[in-house]
Structure 1
């Protein structure tokens, strides 16, 4: 992928205004917004027709940002992420400085440190985590490519990032729940 300055600026401007975007990630196409904006998060729940009890995840640009939004990152998280063979989302206890409607009822939040260059640059520019949920209506299959995303989703976002990333094997991330008491639970391999 070459220069995507224009796409970064367009997506950034929509996010700053409280809009929602459709964008390629290091896994599947995602619907995203500023993770500190509760109104934007509500728009995503409404667009996906998803119950607010079902948690959304977010992306951060690096470990430094992860530490800014989780009260205490368990040491083992760094090893899991360092050696993970595929994109891995970890559900952490006690998220901080994000919108309340993003936090699970059990005071947890799933966060993935993105490896996608576009996402990383967008998050750095935003200086906040980016909500990332698959680009489908709740209960529908996760689209494997942009062409499989429903018109309702495309029409329902404020901006579609114009980067047709060739993801070789688009699959959702692995999900691991890592509690501060040391418990580790694999939610999705």
Structure 2
């Protein structure tokens, strides 16, 4: 049986070298890369056959890391994170220290702090944000399990994490846009 520490070590090597990983998250299987590497981010868009005008989600380990990528984290963000009982991605204004092609045209970025041991340790040991976008070609259904991931996605990444392959995922995270001016907008429930 695969060991989590070995899988983290293998995934870290790929992330540090600008490659793509396929990994289990707290929601669905994700395609990931170093969120500060524009060439790696471009590879994700190419693999998904997705326009780079449509922003991607990032995962960070904790609040401390979140502050590295968002100029001003609204106070309401922590309240939302604390009270939600399901995975929630928050879109923040004024992204920083990330690949330009990852940041939306309005300067915002979607970030989630996952409630998942593997994702936490991967991000913590990487010491940075990791792209997390569903493991499908743009427009195709989001795979609910590892078995549903398309062969072209499997072949298009540099490393496939060998953990949680039996896990079934119901749906992706909720997405909330939390503007610095206090406006809250639910993008996806």
TM range (shorter): over 0.9
Q: 1:63 to 1:2 in 2, by over 3 A?
A: farther
Pairing 1:75-86 to 2, within 5 Å after superposition? 75-86=75-86
Q: Do the aligned residues in 2 keep the contact of 1:56 with 1:132 (CA within 8 Å)?
A: yes
Q: Which runs of 5+ in 1 are unaligned?
A: none
Aligned length: 189
Q: Do the aligned residues in 1 keep the contact of 2:2 with 2:162 (CA within 8 Å)?
A: no
DSSP 3-state at the match of 2:12: helix
User: CA-to-partner distance for each residue in 1:85-119, whole Å, 9 max, x for gaps?
Assistant: 10000000001101101000010000000111011
Name the residue aligned to 1:101. 101
Pairing 1:1-189 to 2, within 5 Å after superposition? 3-167=3-167, 169-189=169-189
DSSP 3-state at the match of 1:81: helix
Q: TM-score, normalised by structure 2?
A: 0.97
| Distance in 2, Cα, partners of 1:120 & 1:36 | 18
| Distance in 2, Cα, partners of 1:164 & 1:112 | 20
| Distance in 1, Cα, partners of 2:165 & 2:104 | 31
User: CA-to-partner distance for each residue in 1:110-147, whole Å, 9 max, x for gaps?
Assistant: 00001110111010111110000000000000000000
RMSD between aligned residues: 1.3
DSSP 3-state at the match of 1:51: coil
Q: Which runs of 5+ in 2 are unaligned?
A: none
Q: Do the aligned residues in 2 keep the contact of 1:145 with 1:170 (CA within 8 Å)?
A: no
| Distance in 2, Cα, partners of 1:83 & 1:168 | 24
Shift of 1:17: 0.4
Q: TM-score, normalised by structure 1?
A: 0.97
